[in-house]
Structure 1
């Protein structure tokens, strides 16, 4: 069940009013925060309130043969995250001639994800959403930058 458009519009308007660059897209919104673009989706909760999902595409991709090491590293990183998690999403293979290449290795995108339940869209809850969004983006980005530019890499 999708949240009424007016709820998503209220969230977008509140984020724009706080100075964030927000662009409405199909069923959600894109929020520009520095170099990052966070996708935001809102769904009505059947028990009341709104469930807000945040997705941060990190532009990092791993191939299937690296999964054991990557998963161990992501598990360790996720233990230190408070506002989101790192997740793998399968990437559709490119089809050069209209046919998928069955021999191509599977690839996965590394994404940051977070979910926040808002009991209502009042000022206090919208402020909490802004703070959660800020901390989520900073926490995931910082964790990935430390890992990629540190000495340990993504492997455990």
Structure 2
């Protein structure tokens, strides 16, 4: 077991003990909150502490020709986010032909550095997770249902 797995396992155990629904998957964990699942990855920081990366798949996809409008909308949304940011990741779909338009997934991402895995830092992680998920989801839903700022 590597150091990262040990840290990940300690984080998963602490989150589960606090009542969160967490399951270990491959090299990370999934934290469930209602319909949403935040992927969590942990690794030791060579300079001390633990780096935790959070990914929230929003099930939103954008084709290449819509990028200019989407990027402007995402830039505006990101200015109002305190606990993460929206990013675009290319979707690697081998089933599509070579002429198919390039498609991007809209993801919420956050990175948090923990000094250690003590109770205070784990509480900070729980709060960050909760706020990250709520803030990103609320910003996207408000935009999709309120205006045409981000239409996919």
Normalised by the size of structure 2, how large is the TM-score? Answer: 0.95
Q: Displacement of 1:152 after TM fit? A: 3.3
Number of residues of Structure 1 aligned to a counterpart in Structure 2: 150
Counterpart in the other structure of 2:102:
106
Find 2:122's aligned residue among 118, 122, 126: 126
CA positional deviation for 1:93: 2.3
Quick one: distance in 2 between partners of 1:62 and 1:93?
Answer: 14
Q: Deviations over 1:52-74 (max 9, x none)?
A: 00000000000000000000000
After TM superposition, the runs of 4+ consecutive aligned structure 1 residues lying more than 6 A away are none
Note the 1:2-41 alignment, pairs <5 A.
3-41=3-41
In structure 1, the gaps of 5 or more residues are none
Check whether the contact 1:74–1:86 (CA below 8 A) recurs between aligned residues: yes
Unaligned runs of 5+ in 2: none
- Quote the Cα distance in structure 2 between the aligned partners of 1:3 and 1:152: 46
Matched, 1:142 2:138: yes
TM-score by length of 1: 0.93
Residue in structure 2 matched with residue 42 of structure 1 by the alignment: 42
Contact 2:87–2:106, Cα closer than 8 Å, also in 1? yes
- The separation in 1 between residues aligned to 2:72 and 2:85, in whole angstroms, is 14
What's the offset of the Cα at 1:3? 4.0
